[in-house]
Amino acid sequence: MLKRILFLLFFLIISAHASDNNHPSSALVFQPILSIKQLHPLLLHAKKKSHFVLIDFNKKKCAPCLDLQNKTFSDTRVQTALRNYRLIEINLTNHNLTSFKKRFNVKSAPTLVFIDQGGQFLPEFTITGFVTPEQLLSVIARVQRGNEN
């Protein structure tokens, strides 16, 4: 009987932990950060590796943010397109991150910001609000084409 109770308790803890994940149905791994100081070394590392960067500005209980995570980032085509990106998450829920908002002109969540392989912010490709996988794939393709010129 004790073994059954322990097993159930273990199962409930594992289930609760899995459902609390920021990107529950996504194989993409976003690095959460809270300060510009944390951002700088990530951007330097991405530049050194010649990786694009995608920054996801979101909020915890924001419906479009959750849709972006559950519908767009979980799409295998999107996951494939972003496989060589450095993925960064900035949660705006409990933080007044004015420095980020000013630097990347973030007005609301969700906002997706692209940075090229040379570390340059690409404001023309910023996305605000929910986008479908197809819409995000279109922007990713344009970001990469723009870098080839």
Q: What are the sequence ranges of the domains in the chain?
A: 22-148
Sheet holding 111-115, edge to edge: 31-32, 85-91, 52-58, 111-115, 127-128
Q: What type of residue is 49?
A: K
Structure-token pair, residue 53: 């960067």
CATH topology of domain 22-148: Glutaredoxin (3.40.30)
| Threshold 0.85, pTM exceeds | no
Distance CA 69, CA 48 (A): 28
Task: Report the amino acid identity of residue 82.
Answer: L
CB atoms closer than 10 angstroms to residue 31: 13
Q: Could you read off the pLDDT tens digit of each residue along the chain, which spans 149 residues?
A: 655 544 444 444 444 434 344 444 448 999 999 888 899 999 999 999 999 999 999 999 999 999 999 999 999 999 999 999 999 999 998 776 788 888 999 999 999 999 999 999 999 999 999 999 999 999 999 999 986 65
